[in-house]
Structure 1
Amino acid sequence: SCCFICAFFVLINKVCLQVPVEGFIGGSVVLPCSSAEHDLKLQDINVLWRDKGSETVYDIIKGKDSVERQDPRYKNRAETFPEEYERGNFSLKLINLNHTDAGEFNCFITHSSDSKQETVWLFINDSTAEKGNKSTKQENQEPGTQSDWITIVLICVCTIFILLFAVFIACFIIRRIRTQAPYIGGTVAN
């Protein structure tokens, strides 16, 4: 049961700690990715950005930008912030967004002492706004989107508590059965 609990927490951590980011058709968005370690040696760092199909969005190899294996869909649309690398910021700016960009993006950071994966979910909304002005329709959708995320987080938290409670009850029942198993018909079994 301990293995189940550990596996459960690993899965919950992966599902609930995904970062949601919202973008608009034709606009741009920054997908966050950072390392907690600062003052990094760039020659020891590799950062791999991958999309939902595991296609290469952008690579930073030994602290240098690399677009050699970049999927053609991201050519001239993905950029990073090299001046931020030493501070552990490997965020990716994706420009000229379209519907096919929606979905999961993974940022894999590896360096000599540690490795880390961050998952970002990109949601794309239609934009009828021009030059950064939002239409009334979009303004009305934003609070709904925020409340949707609050609802999702609350459901996730409640699910965690319910599953933890179920695991606790199951462990209690198993322990009780094991302590009563040696007694058969009021006598101790050998």
Structure 2
Amino acid sequence: MVHFGVFVLGFSLPFWSFTAAHSDDKGRHLTAPRRPIKASEGDDVILPCFVSPDYNVEDLTVEWSLPDLKPDPSDRLSRVEYVFVYRRRREEVDMKLQKFIGRTELFEDELKVGNISLKISNVTLADAGKYRCFIPKLKGRVKEAVVRLVVDPRANITLTTETQTNSQTPDPNQETDVKVGQPPLWIPVLSVCIVLVMVVVGFGVAYFLRRRCVNREETTTLYTDETSSCLSD
């Protein structure tokens, strides 16, 4: 998910509040949102920055840096590394901060209209802070602007909670062992029902056979009595 803040590639500038004060009426200046750009940890985010009015900067140097990051004063040969540097129509990877390698890019097709917005992929909590966009050779007084990024850790909290929940889930193998040792409740209940049915059927069959025998005996006795009576006559 990409968070645009109030960013639209169609450049709906009237809807934004920008930090680009006191620019030269005849020159150009950089503009960026005054309000911080918010993103959740793990998201992709775009930090908007534009040349106003529109101006082709494909042949100019574009720098994105961390203004609060200073070179090591104890090392005279140290230099400030960048979040992103565009120079001679390509990215200068050698000057890039290690943690941003492979994670930052410009919209190069939009440079011809002055869009130097920066995309940061897979945002981390450590990415939060101020970002400076700068065009050294831009004709105008305001050649830089600052964008503030706020990273929300809630997505990480949700992930941690889900991980804890999953870790408390019993092992399926253990569940299988329990089921093998302790049969489900319906098995003994069904067994009892089957036994009861068999007993009832048995009693029914026995009763039927007994009644049949009794009827036969009564019929035989009646026939014998009638035969004896006839012989006596």
Partner of 2:132, secondary structure, is strand
Unaligned runs of 5+ in 1: 1-8, 11-16, 130-190
Aligned mates of 1:81, 1:66 — CA distance in 2: 15
Q: How does 1:5-154 map to 2 (within 5 A)?
A: 18-40=34-56, 42-43=58-59, 45-51=60-66, 52-53=68-69, 55-111=81-137, 113-114=139-140, 116-128=143-155
Tell me what 2:30 maps to: none
Partner of 1:110, secondary structure, is coil
Shift of 1:127: 3.5
1:104-161 deviations in whole A, cap 9, x for unaligned?
00001233523511101100101438xxxxxxxxxxxxxxxxxxxxxxxxxxxxxxxx
Partner of 1:85, secondary structure, is helix
TM superposition score normalised by structure 1: 0.54
Alignment-mate amino acid for residue 119 of structure 1: V
Alignment-mate amino acid for residue 146 of structure 2: T
- Paired residues of 2:37 and 2:150 also in contact (CA < 8 A): yes
- Paired residues of 2:57 and 2:111 also in contact (CA < 8 A): no
Runs of 4 or more, structure 1, over 6 Å off, are none
Aligned mates of 2:55, 2:132 — CA distance in 1: 23
Shift of 1:23: 1.0
Alignment-mate amino acid for residue 132 of structure 2: N
Aligned mates of 2:117, 2:101 — CA distance in 1: 17
- Paired residues of 1:60 and 1:66 also in contact (CA < 8 A): yes
Partner of 1:128, secondary structure, is helix
Shift of 1:53: 1.3
- Paired residues of 2:57 and 2:114 also in contact (CA < 8 A): no
TM superposition score normalised by structure 2: 0.44
Alignment-mate amino acid for residue 110 of structure 2: E
Alignment-mate amino acid for residue 123 of structure 2: L
Alignment-mate amino acid for residue 78 of structure 1: T
> Residues 39, 96 of structure 1: CA spacing in aligned structure 2 closer, same or farther, 3 A cutoff?
same
User: Which is higher, the Rg of structure 1 or of structure 2?
Assistant: 2
> Higher strand share goes to which structure?
1
Unaligned runs of 5+ in 2: 1-20, 23-32, 71-80, 157-233
